Amino acid sequence: MDQTPPAARPGTLQRWLTGPRFGALPAPAELPAPALSFEFFPPKTDRLEEQLWACIRRLEPLAPRFVSVTYGAGGSTQARTHATVARIVRETSLTPAAHLTCVGATREEVDEVARGYWAAGVRHIVALRGDPPAGASGYTPHPGGYAQAEDLVRGLKRVADFEISVGAYPETHPSALSADADLDFLKRKIDAGATRAITQYFFEGEVFLRFLDRCAAAGITVPIVPGIMPVSNFTQMARFSAQCGASVPEWMGRLFDGLEEDAETRRMVAAVVAAEQVRFLQANGVDEFHFYTLNRPDLAYAIAHLLGARPRA
């Protein structure tokens, strides 16, 4: 509660002139277009396959640096991830990155999957420890498997000279012993051969900027690319965030409150929220963005456009 007597409070004009406002951010036109990447998941049905390919075709003209395809929890989508990535190589101008995890497979099996990617022309892997399959209690390394992402990075480098990206957690991985230990393991993944980290999504820009500072202080010099999640289904996202350690600010709950049955307004709100987030990051010098598209192109396309990305012939 503001205890200042009314006469001493700044008037409307003074507040407008001196207070923080969105318009104070530089116009994207003054900044170089950012480097983009888009993440997809492999489809389960013919209808979802069509949706994915419509999404890929819509985003392709934005000429992202790479597009990545996830690997289902417990390694459950191995064949579908491979088929999707191989089709991207064959039928598009895009550079794919295949996600690969340590879960549910021996080292030899994982190496074999990686060799299959190399043979299919895939040169970039997003190397992750992986989450256990639904219903499993906690993560247990497969006997004879790679235990952590760090081991996987090292193993992949032995298979072939892949470009390797790894995951990073601005709000600390939920099972980490401490924030510092988590950062130490990130550094170890990079020392093992990764050349980029892509973050778990987050919603407060300051969280990411603070994380960048901590990475720099820990001697991490590779690019840390913010993972951007445009939120079109708030309820679902809030549930998922609780599991993966991304905090959902209260103001976001208020913005989406009452829109549970109104998908169209939700999408407009989602676009504004994501636009403010990326513009804040861009104004603070961030020039690379990774979008979690959920195989829906519109929000990612609109936000990329706001950042200055334009289709190339």
Catalytic residues: 39
- The verdict on 298 binding ligand FAD (CB under 6 A) reads no
- The count of residues interacting with ligand FAD (CB under 6 A) is 24
Choose which of 129, 154, 267, 279 interacts with ligand FAD (CB under 6 A): 129
Choose which of 48, 54, 79, 181 interacts with ligand FAD (CB under 6 A): 181
- The verdict on 28 binding ligand FAD (CB under 6 A) reads no
In this structure, what are the phi and psi dihedrals at residue 41, rounded to the nearest 5 degrees? -115, 150
Choose which of 155, 227, 230, 297 interacts with ligand FAD (CB under 6 A): 227
Q: Is 307:34 a contact under the CB 8 Å cutoff?
A: yes
Please state, in angstroms and rounded to a whole number, the distance separating the CA atoms of residues 207 and 249: 11
Whole-Å CA distances, 43 to 49, 253, 292, 294: 5, 30, 15, 10
- The verdict on 196 binding ligand FAD (CB under 6 A) reads no
Nearer to ligand FAD, 192 or 269 (CB): 192
Choose which of 148, 214, 247, 255 interacts with ligand FAD (CB under 6 A): 148
Nearer to ligand FAD, 35 or 176 (CB): 176
Residue 26 CB, nearest approach to ligand FAD (Å): 28
- The verdict on 43 binding ligand FAD (CB under 6 A) reads no
Site for ligand FAD, residues 44 to 103, rule: CB under 6 A: 70-71, 73, 99, 101
Nearer to ligand FAD, 168 or 269 (CB): 168
Nearer to ligand FAD, 96 or 227 (CB): 227
CB neighbour list of residue 93: distance below 8 Å, 6 or more residues apart: 60, 63
Alpha carbons within 13 angstroms on the beta-carbon side of residue 313 total: 0
Q: If 0-12 CB within 10 Å is exposed, 13-18 middle and 19+ buried, where does residue 105 land?
A: buried
Nearer to ligand FAD, 105 or 149 (CB): 149
Residue 11 CB, nearest approach to ligand FAD (Å): 46
Residue 309 CB, nearest approach to ligand FAD (Å): 20
Of 223, 199, 220, 229, residue with least CA distance to 291: 229
Please state, in angstroms and rounded to a whole number, the distance separating the CA atoms of residues 246 and 47: 30
Please state, in angstroms and rounded to a whole number, the distance separating the CA atoms of residues 70 and 80: 10
Q: Which residues of the shown chain bind ligand FAD in the complex (CB under 6 A)?
A: 70-71, 73, 99, 101, 126, 128-131, 148-150, 167, 173, 175-176, 181-182, 185, 189, 198, 200, 227
